[in-house]
């Protein structure tokens, strides 16, 4: 039996599925050509592989292959979407709407655009992590050019009402972007039915390789204009220059193909594991579920714990499990999670948080071990704190 901690951090990243790795391997050595080299068989092999993944991703979201632009990941895709839309539509308006609980790869580009004169409206969320659609409606302005709302939150797993938001944007001829890095392969996505105009994707959250992502950019009804942020060679319809990383692209396609084939059964299994974990943990008093109880990713359980120190909690869990706390560390400055404080949590409660990301390779036995260990750790820390306070 492995002595390594049980991995429950699948919102941070996932291990590459062996089936994905097997699909990738030939493109490192045997079929190593550049897909832009169209004069010989090596290039043709690579080009065909890239084309196949475009078709897989397009089918997964009800798009066309030509609407799939490959990037180095979701962070680049988000930057290309936000900055590319802002630059292309600058003459029409300088107002952008997003949400307080978005990933930093959305909030930071918006912060940058603010220095260039754009106006950014950051919507709050309700205590369950969902946005208020009435507040969104009130935020629209004649000069609003873009709304960006993530499909599934990376920390609390909340699923926003994407179809409703898309319809509201379409009615007003406003471009709608969604960061679907955590959603692809886990929930149904349909860019036509949901009126999504531009969408960011990544592979490594769905058992594919790191370093590869994609951006869906609508070509018609309406045709979305996008100013490139990386120049040189005119690859990807001129939107993102650079030699395509064929092995990673192949892995991306295979990962999504597997995830879609297993989506229904895996969603049911992960929901059962999550509910089992929550049922056991919620026996303790002072345990708060972060985010909507049901409108969330199947494998996500985010909790905050009263009566413990956040750092001590994180340290106490480490020997048994690999999980993320609710805090974020940036530039060597530790701060409480802005996502959790947006829900109305105090700084202390936001610090003392755990994000369980249950994944494909976790078992019911592991969940029971984790639950028992977490309960014992919390009880021990609370007891120590009580003794200290009595002195």
Q: Is 329 one of the catalytic residues? A: yes
Question: Using H for helix, E for strand and C for coil, what is the string for 119-131?
Answer: EEEEECCCCCCCC
Q: 367 — alpha (psi -120 to 50), left (phi > 0) or beta?
A: alpha
- For residue 383, give the 3-state DSSP assignment: helix
CA angle 144, 148, 153 (to 5 degrees): 155
Half-sphere exposure at residue 336, Cβ-oriented, CA atoms within 13 angstroms: 17
**How far is it, in rounded angstroms, from Cα 181 to Cα 16?**
16
Q: Which residues pair with 202 in a beta bridge?
A: 213
How many other C-beta atoms lie within 10 A of the C-beta of residue 9?
18
Tokens of residue 391, six digits? 């002195």
Q: Which residue, 192, 196, 16, 180, is CA-closest to 102?
A: 180
Catalytic residue among 10, 110, 169, 329: 329
Q: Which residue, 198, 161, 205, is CA-closest to 184?
A: 205
Catalytic amino acids?
329
């Amino acid at each position: 039996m492995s002595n390594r901690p049980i991995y429950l951090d699948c919102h941070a990243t996932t291990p590459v599925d062996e089936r994905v790795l097997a699909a990738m391997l030939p493109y490192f050595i045997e079929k190593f050509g550049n897909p832009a080299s169209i004069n010989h068989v090596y290039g043709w092999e690579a080009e065909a592989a890239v084309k196949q993944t475009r078709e897989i991703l397009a089918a997964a979201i009800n798009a066309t292959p030509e609407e799939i632009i490959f990037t180095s990941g979701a962070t680049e895709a988000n930057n290309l979407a936000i900055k590319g839309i802002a630059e292309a539509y600058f003459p029409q308006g300088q107002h952008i709407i997003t949400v307080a609980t978005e990933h930093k790869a959305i909030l930071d580009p918006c912060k940058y655009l603010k220095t260039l004169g754009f106006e950014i409206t950051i919507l709050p969320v309700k205590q369950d992590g969902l946005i208020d659609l009435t507040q969104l409606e009130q935020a629209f302005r004649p000069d609003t050019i873009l709304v960006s709302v993530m499909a599934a939150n990376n920390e609390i797993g909340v699923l926003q009402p994407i179809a409703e938001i898309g319809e509201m944007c379409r009615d007003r001829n406003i471009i709608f972007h969604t960061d679907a890095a955590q959603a692809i392969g886990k929930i149904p996505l349909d860019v036509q039915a949901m009126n999504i105009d531009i969408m960011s994707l990544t592979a490594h959250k769905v058992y594919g390789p790191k370093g590869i992502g994609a951006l869906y950019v609508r070509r018609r009804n309406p045709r979305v204009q996008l100013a490139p942020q990386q120049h040189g060679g005119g690859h990807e319809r001129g939107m993102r220059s650079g030699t395509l990383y064929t092995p990673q692209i192949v892995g991306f396609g295979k990962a999504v193909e597997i995830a879609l084939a297993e989506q229904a059964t895996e969603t049911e299994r992960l929901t059962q594991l999550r509910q089992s974990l929550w049922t056991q943990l919620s026996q303790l008093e002072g345990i708060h579920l972060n985010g909507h109880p049901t409108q969330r990713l199947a494998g996500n359980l985010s909790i905050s714990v009263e009566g413990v120190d956040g750092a001590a909690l994180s340290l106490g869990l480490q020997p048994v499990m690999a999980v993320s706390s609710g805090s974020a560390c940036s530039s060597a400055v530790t701060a409480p999670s802005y996502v959790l404080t947006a829900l109305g949590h105090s700084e202390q409660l936001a610090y003392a948080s755990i994000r369980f990301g249950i994944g494909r390779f976790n078992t019911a036995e592991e969940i029971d071990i984790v639950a028992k260990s977490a309960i014992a750790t919390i009880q021990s820390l609370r007891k120590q704190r009580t003794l200290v306070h009595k002195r």
